[in-house]
Amino acid sequence: MTAAVAGGTARETLPADRRPRVAVLGGSLIGLTTALVLRDIGCDVDVFERSRSPLEGRGVGIVLHPATVRYLLDNRLLDLSAVSTTAAWHRYLDVDGSVLAQAARRHHFTGYNTLYGTLLQTFGRDRYHLGAEATGVRDDGDRVEVAFADGRTATADLLVGADGVSSFVRRTMLPGVRPGYGGYVAWRGVVDERELAPETFAALDDALTYHVQPHTHVLTYPIPHYDGGVAPGRRLMNVVWYRNVAEGRPLDELLTDREGRRRDVSLPPGAARDEVVAEVRSTAAATLPPPIAEVVVKNEAPFLQVMVDVDVPRMAFGRTCLVGDAAFAVRPHAAAATAKGAEDVWALADALLRAGGDVPAALAAWEPARLEVGRALLARTRELGEGAQFRNDWVPGDPALTFGLHRPGDSADMRVS
């Protein structure tokens, strides 16, 4: 059976009497993609998101990959060329700011809010339940029951755990699996291009700009402004600076926010203590190439993400599965985590169609290939991180270091309309 999707491609749908009720836990990029793709094949889908208000500002810049935006492009929901920025060059700067290596390779970037807002608007708010924190999951083989913190419950034929790096569903199904600390953190932030010195703008414009030194590396790229601006000079310059921090006391101190609370895997904008921010700025000014240092120094609200790996032995458990960061969480060096999550979802829809709506059969058939993709991406991003931060063997300009999901470079030069 096929159904026409408004403005887009026709997709096969499940027979009317074989349409599973689906509960998706987590309403971020991968939860919403799951909801839309499965709803289009005929599933009856609800999304349960812990946050009390719609999500915003996460991740800041997202490097586009064809899989990340497949739903939006297939259904012509967004003119990506109007909401994304672009950089034509991969460039490595030496510490004095001179160009060490460069190659023509085009990437596109957009903001988390652009993708999230479009996906949420398309799914609608009726079945998107905010303030729904799952606290219990029971899969009895015939159905899955979810309990929420506020006493509500939901019953489904299929439970999809899209609840991110600290996934409750993963902790329930795989209690022995813990995120492993990679030994370093990423400081992130943005600066309005209008605040940059003309020579800095000229050095960073139209490029994904890297700088590598022993035990650290940093990159910048332009992303859309909060006001939607995507023209050069009207965007935000995004920076990600990877710095090694020993586990134990140094990491605990760094993650202690201005209220004295030890955060878990991130410090949101405004949470880092003043002395910590001052140290980041002064070290940037003293050690990074001047154009990149300026972006770090002028970034008013730096935020931090701890680099962790999550390696899962399974993604399917009867009628329950894990997708996106809830399954494998990988370091960002391939800029492909959202793409991997979106592919998990497309493959799940195909498996459900092939199994005629039989959920356990579909999950069993779906799992092996997704484990393989997750493991390969985890291994490659670990390797990239170890090379840059510990082995110090990154060679500026090496094409193996470029972004990509299945192979380096598979997100470059993609179509955006």
Ligand X SMILES: Cc1cc2nc3c(=O)[nH]c(=O)nc-3n(C[C@H](O)[C@H](O)[C@H](O)COP(=O)(O)OP(=O)(O)OC[C@H]3O[C@@H](n4cnc5c(N)ncnc54)[C@H](O)[C@@H]3O)c2cc1C
Write down the least CB distance from residue 41 to ligand X, Å.
20
Q: Whole-angstrom distance between the N-terminal and C-terminal Cα of the chain? A: 28
Please pick, from the candidates 335, 347, 384, 388, the single residue that binds ligand X as defined by CB under 6 A.
335
38 binds ligand X (CB under 6 A): no
Do 167 and 177 contact (CB within 8 A), yes or no? Answer: no
Instruction: State the nearest-atom distance from the C-beta of 182 to ligand X, in Å.
Output: 11
Q: Does 55 bind ligand X (CB under 6 A)?
A: yes
Sole binder of ligand X in the list 14, 22, 23, 29 (CB under 6 A) = 29
Tell me if 303 contacts ligand X by CB under 6 A. no
Pairwise CA distance, residues 214 & 394, whole Å: 9
Q: How far is the CB of 17 from ligand X (least distance, A)?
A: 30
Is residue 173 involved in binding ligand X (CB under 6 A)? Answer: no
- Minimum distance from residue 61 beta carbon to ligand X (Å): 6
Tokens of 16: 């009317």
Nearer to ligand X, 357 or 382 (CB): 382
Q: Which helix (H) or strand (E) holds 318?
A: none
Evaluated on CA atoms 137, 139, 140, 145, the torsion sign reads positive
The owner of tokens 């992303």 is: 223
**For residue 50, which of 152, 126, 138, 140 has the smallest C-alpha distance?**
152
Q: Please select the residue that binds ligand X; options are 20, 42, 111, 164, rule is CB under 6 A.
A: 164
Residue 84 in the binding site for ligand X (CB under 6 A): no
Q: Which is nearer to ligand X, 14 or 45 (CB)?
A: 45
What are the residues facing 243 on neighbouring strands? 185, 216
Applying CB under 6 A, does 62 fall inside the site for ligand X?
A: yes
Shortest spacing between CB 334 and ligand X, in angstroms: 8
Q: Which of 341, 357, 374, 387 binds ligand X (CB under 6 A)?
A: 341
- Binding of ligand X by 209 (CB under 6 A): no
Q: By CB under 6 A, tell whether 59 contacts ligand X.
A: yes
CA pair distance 140, 149, nearest whole angstrom: 21
280 near ligand X (CB under 6 A) = no
- Judged by DSSP in three states, 153 sits in strand
Instruction: Kindly state the smallest distance separating residue 282's Cβ from ligand X, in Å.
Output: 22
Q: Is 410 one of the binding residues for ligand X (CB under 6 A)?
A: no
330-350 burial, b if ≥16 CB within 10 A, otherwise e? bbbbbbbbbbbbbbbbbbbbb
| 325 touching ligand X, by CB under 6 A | yes
Candidate residues 12, 133, 383, 386; the one interacting with ligand X per rule CB under 6 A: 133
Nearest approach in angstroms of CB 410 to ligand X is: 12
Q: Of the listed pieces 77-85, 126-134, 199-207, 295-303, which binds ligand X according to CB under 6 A?
A: 126-134
Q: Is 330 helix (H, G, I), strand (E, B) or coil?
A: coil
* Number of residues lying near ligand X (CB under 6 A): 39
For residue 343, state whether it binds ligand X (rule: CB under 6 A). no
Strands 207-213 and 216-223: antiparallel
Binding residues among 220-249 for ligand X as defined by CB under 6 A: 240
- From 20, 332, 374, 408, residue interacting with ligand X (rule: CB under 6 A): 332
Binds ligand X by CB under 6 A, chosen from 22, 35, 68, 388: 68
Residue 57 neighbours by CB under 8 Å, 6+ apart: 112, 113, 269
Residue 50: both structure tokens together: 């812990």
Among 163, 294, 309, 367, binds ligand X (CB under 6 A): 163
Residue 9 CA to residue 89 CA, distance in Å, equals 33
Residues 187-206 contacting ligand X, CB under 6 A: 188
Nearest alpha-carbon partner for 137 in 158, 109, 107, 165 = 158
Taking residue 224's Cβ as centre, other Cβ atoms within 10 Å add up to 23
| Contact between residue 67 and residue 54 where contact means Cβ atoms under 8 Å apart | no
Beta-bridged to residue 210, according to DSSP, are: 92, 219
Query: What are 68's two structure tokens?
Result: 């990340």
The residues binding ligand X (CB under 6 A) are 25-31, 48-51, 55, 58-59, 62-63, 68, 132-134, 162-165, 168, 186, 188, 240, 305, 324-326, 332, 335-339, 341
